[in-house]
Amino acid sequence: MAGIRIVDIDIYHPATKVHNDFYIEHFDARGVDIRGLLKALGRDTRYKIDNDDENSLSMAFEAASNLLEKTGLTGADIDLIAYASQTPEYIFPTNSLMIHRLINGASHTICIDSNANCAGMTAAFEQVSRQMLGNPRIRRALIIGSDYVAPHASPDDPVYFANFGDAAAAVIVERDEHAIGFIDSIYQTDTCVYGNSLFPAEGLAKLGQTGVDAGAFHVKFIPFDDSICVDAASESIRTLLTRNEIGPDEIKAACFSQLSIGNIRAVSENVGIGDDIAVYIGDEFGYTSTSSPFIALHRAITSGQIQRGDKVLFWTVGAGWQNVAIVVEY
């Protein structure tokens, strides 16, 4: 039976790196001390767009271009393009269709956009892998995750304004008769905080009726304890590994949501994964939301932490909330 394996991965981030001091001074001027928040989240620096020419779509294209050049493939070699973003530059046409044009894709290529918020790229990877298993005519797929949250973060909101970084990741997967690749996945959904992150704040219909002031197109965020997903995520991961007869010691890289270093440590400890296995890049990149587990994968590969044949565990969580976990053989 054919497997869906990762061919390669690449990333893109803007050149400008912003340190915590900028945000500390910003909120000190507002009488808000965010030092404890930044420490709890594990932040130090993050890459930020500082011009009018870049956005989530341009970052996605750069990541995809880097990857195609790296692999020696062209747009014509791709049978499916999946673009995951919670901040798509356009609602229609699809951003994947725009990527298709930019990379000179083939006429038979499937183009789909998806959004599972911060879980988006992981969910897209899972959905595409399962689609490819069921459709042998899809040999290669390009999966891209890219978010640009900054324009929609209120300067008075410490979590959205100081936490996020800008970046994109792109991965190519292919059908291989001799590979295992994608093994299994699990989802877990609890809507207890479904209304705590809303964008547009009043919905698209009202936005079209009333408009929005310049610079005020922001996420409506009600703070909550983000660790509420940890126990459910841990249970899901244990179920995923057990039903596939995989021991925690077989996992060579844990590529988790980079929202919080505390959550990464808690989930890792709960499922028996060591700190040296859980990849953390949130101190350098900030929280890049949908792409963050795959930027962690990129780090695990480029640092030599994993080799071909190693098992990799992904876990992330989307707003509202929804846990997604995947296990693959790299």
DSSP 8-class letter at 287: B
Q: Is the Cβ–Cβ distance between 149 and 48 less than 8 Å?
A: no
Residues 6+ apart with CB under 8 A from 177: 2, 3
Instruction: Name the token pair of 188.
Output: 């877990």
Q: DSSP letters along 250-305, please?
A: GEEEEEE--S-HHHHHHHHHHHT--TTTB---HHHH-B-GGGHHHHHHHHHHHTTS
Give pLDDT, residue 193: 86
Give pLDDT, residue 69: 98
Provide the percentage of residues in the chain whose pLDDT is more than 90. Answer: 86
Say which residue, 80 or 2, is predicted with more confidence: 80
Sheet holding 110-114, edge to edge: 3-12, 167-176, 140-147, 80-84, 110-114
Confidence of residue 302 (pLDDT cuts 50, 70, 90): very high
Other CB atoms within 10 Å distance of the CB of residue 289: 31
Averaged pLDDT for residues 318-323: 90
Give pLDDT, residue 63: 98
- pLDDT single digits (tens) 12-25: 999 999 999 999 99
The whole-angstrom separation of Cα 98 and Cα 149 is 20
Residue 208, pLDDT above cutoff 80: no
Give pLDDT, residue 212: 80
DSSP alpha helix (H) spans, 120-176: 120-134, 158-163
- pLDDT single digits (tens) 43-95: 999 999 999 999 999 999 999 999 999 999 999 999 999 999 999 999 999 99
Averaged pLDDT for residues 240-255: 98
Confidence of residue 206 (pLDDT cuts 50, 70, 90): confident
Q: Identify the bridge partners of residue 142 per DSSP, sorted by sequence position.
A: 81, 172
Say which residue, 215 or 305, is predicted with more confidence: 305
Give pLDDT, residue 170: 98
Q: Is the Cβ–Cβ distance between 114 and 54 less than 8 Å?
A: no
- pLDDT single digits (tens) 98-140: 999 999 999 999 999 999 999 999 999 999 999 999 999 999 9
Tell me the three state secondary structure of residue 80: strand
Q: Is the Cβ–Cβ distance between 311 and 72 less than 8 Å?
A: no
User: Which domains are assigned to the chain?
Assistant: 3-178 (3.40.47.10), 183-329 (3.40.47.10)
- pLDDT single digits (tens) 133-163: 999 999 999 999 999 999 999 999 999 999 9
Residue 219, pLDDT above cutoff 80: yes
Q: CA-based Rg of the chain, rounded to a whole angstrom?
A: 19
Residue carrying the six token digits 């021991």? 247
How much is the mean pLDDT over the chain? 95
The whole-angstrom separation of Cα 159 and Cα 34 is 9
Instruction: Name the token pair of 19.
Output: 């340190």
Confidence of residue 299 (pLDDT cuts 50, 70, 90): very high
Averaged pLDDT for residues 281-309: 98
The whole-angstrom separation of Cα 156 and Cα 152 is 12
pTM: 0.96
